[in-house]
Structure formats: structure tokens, C-alpha cells
Chains A and B, each alone.
Chain A
């Protein structure tokens, strides 16, 4: 039996940072190739990096949100590219802006099909949300780590809301042992 922990894959990392300088997004939009800026629709300017692939939301305040990266290293690499692009436009950017990971989305595979109906009852209807008419996944909120898991009939799952990769590992471990003690993983 493959340890479900070994199947964990980081699918998306969201992080925030700031250059410590206010920006004139109108002029940045003019000079930065590929920038999408529509202040009527959303106050942030969207800039996409190709390698690593990510999307940066740049705000007037100088704060930046980076999303879509596949690892925390990719987040740093993507933001390094964004910082350099801004410096190319003669914009002052702090030396090493603090980058804070806000959310990590992970997928994993328990390796066997799940009876979501039985799991809903077993985990307790008050602890889960399972409405297959609206969404095929069962929503399970954990307290520690503070993450949300989406369990599917195929045995695959998604863990989101974590701030570090270990959160997903702990979550998978707890979910596996909980399902095992309920006799729902056989």
C-alpha cells in the first residue's frame, strides 16, 4: 500500500508581499507588456509570468499578491521576476520584501474508492458538508491543522487553507487514521 502522503502534490500557492512604494498603475499598465488593468472591474493590475507560471495582482499601495505557483520556491522566483520588471520601469523596490504564504492548495490520493455516504454519517453530519446535487466532493473542515479537505468518491482529495506544506501532510494523516478507525477505508 502506497502511503497517501507520498501522493501529495502542491497545485497552487498564494502569497502576498509589497514593494514598500506606492504605484501609478495607469503608467505601469502602459509600460509593462502583457499587463491587464481595468480599475472599473478590479483595483489590481494583473501581470502573468511564464516561467514559473503565475499571476501577480499588483495594487496602487505597492502590495502584491502572487498566485498560481506550484511551490514556495516558484512563488519567490515569480516575485523576483515581477520585482525586476518594476525596477526596469525605474520604480523603487525594497531589497528583500517579505513574502508571506497565505494558502497552499494540495491534491492527494487515498488509493481506494470512498463511500461518501458512509463517510458523511461516520464523520458526523454536523462536521461535514456533502451535497452531491451541488458538488461531488464531501467538505471536511479540520481544526488542527486548520485546513479544509474535499474528499471524492475516487479516493482523491484536495487540501486547501494551509500555510505550509506540512499542514497537508498532517491533514492527510489525520484523515486516513480517522477513516481507518471508522472502518471506512477497507
Chain B
């Protein structure tokens, strides 16, 4: 029992020592992603909770830090895709996703599915598309999601297709390749989602 207690102290101390590193990593990645300070603070709180609940065992500090940041972005309403997150982390996408699902379950974060509309302002801004296109894309997402088209689909691909469709409708055309690049999805995915969406909207593309 004494041994177990000592071990607990040891791992706790190690965790506290590594906390510094984890927080600096969260800061580094958050800066690279250009997310506001509030997101870093939420990510830090999530990481601390994971540490207190001993969720880091068997996982890398960097993995939990990255997953905490991914969760924080979503909680703050400015989601980054796992692809974007893994671009600034040394942990691979698959591991970030796994770790995120684990801490999300264990900490009871009760994360809601990402709303594709949350990606519209940032993607449109990167593509230099007008407010009109953003509004149109949001309408497409809203209406087609209501018709049940969103189930099981990736939020980034869904948003990308709606933005592509909106850019056509507003005469500010962007190519599928351009939209695919900022959303980090393939043209094939945009094509597939786009076809479903315009059909559901009753638009003849």
C-alpha cells in the first residue's frame, strides 16, 4: 500500500512537471492555428482535468495536449478539423482522434457533433468570398441538413460542398480544387456532397 502510494505521488509529480511542457505545446499549436487565447485556456483546463483523472497513462503527453486543443476549439465554436490539428502536432491524426474520443468520454465533455456552418466564415475568408456567399452556403447547409442529408457525413466536406455551390450561385466561382485545398478534403468528396445538396435544394446545376 505504501508502494502504491509512493507510486501515485511519483506519477503525480511527474505529471505536474510535464504539465509545463503540455501547456507550452498547447500554446505553440494554438499560435500556429491562430486561435484566440480563450481556446488555449479551455484546452489547458481540459488537459488539467485529464491529468487529475489519470487519463494520461499509456498515452503521450503531446497526444493528450493535442486532443485537448481539438476539443477546446469545438467547445468554443471555432472547430479545426483533425487534419488541420495534425498539421501543427507531431501526433498523427488517427491517434489524436482516438485520444480525443477517450478523454471526451472519460471527462464527460458531452461534445455535440460539429456544425458544418462553423467552418463557413473561415473557409470563405481564406477563399476571399463575399458575405453573400457565406449566407448562401449557410442556407444550403441549414436546409439540406434539415432534410437529413448530414447524417454520417464529415462536417468539412459538407461545408466545402455548400461553399462551392454558393460560390457558383453568387457568380463568385471557385474551383473544386480551390475549395478542396482550404477544407483539406478531396474534389471527389465535394462533388458527391454538392450533387446531393443541389438536388435536395431543387437547384439545377
Residues of A that sit less than 8 Å from B by CB: 113-117, 120-121, 125-126, 129-134, 136-137, 152-153
Contact = CB atoms under 8 A, between A and B. Distances in A.
Given A116-B113, A120-B113, A134-B82, 7 more contacts: A113-B148, A125-B112, A126-B108, A134-B97, A136-B152, A136-B153, A152-B151
Contacts of A121: 112
A153 B151 CA distance: 5
Interface in B78-130: 81-82, 97, 101, 105, 108, 110-114
A152 B112 contact: no
B150 interface: yes
B199 to A, nearest CB: 15
B: contact size bracket: 20 to 34
Contacts of B110: 125-126
A132 B155 contact: yes
Contacts of A115: 148, 151
A152 B108 contact: no
A129 B100 CA distance: 11
Interface of B: 81-82, 97, 101, 105, 108, 110-114, 145, 148, 150-156
B145 to A, nearest CB: 8
B111 A125 contact: yes
Given A120-B113, A125-B112, A126-B110, A133 B154 contact: yes
Chain B at the A interface: mostly helix, strand, loop or mixed?
loop
B148 A153 contact: yes
Mostly, the A contact residues are loop
Contacts of B105: 129
Given A113-B148, A126-B108, A153-B148, A132 B101 contact: no
B97 A131 contact: yes
B12 to A, nearest CB: 27
Given A133-B156, A137-B152, A117 B101 contact: no
B151 A113 contact: yes
A186 to B, nearest CB: 12
29 contacts: A115-B148, A116-B113, A116-B152, A117-B145, A117-B150, A117-B151, A120-B113, A125-B110, A129-B101, A130-B113, A131-B97, A132-B113, A132-B151, A132-B154, A132-B155, A133-B81, A133-B97, A133-B114, A133-B154, A133-B155, A133-B156, A134-B82, A134-B97, A134-B101, A136-B152, A137-B152, A153-B148, A153-B151, A153-B153
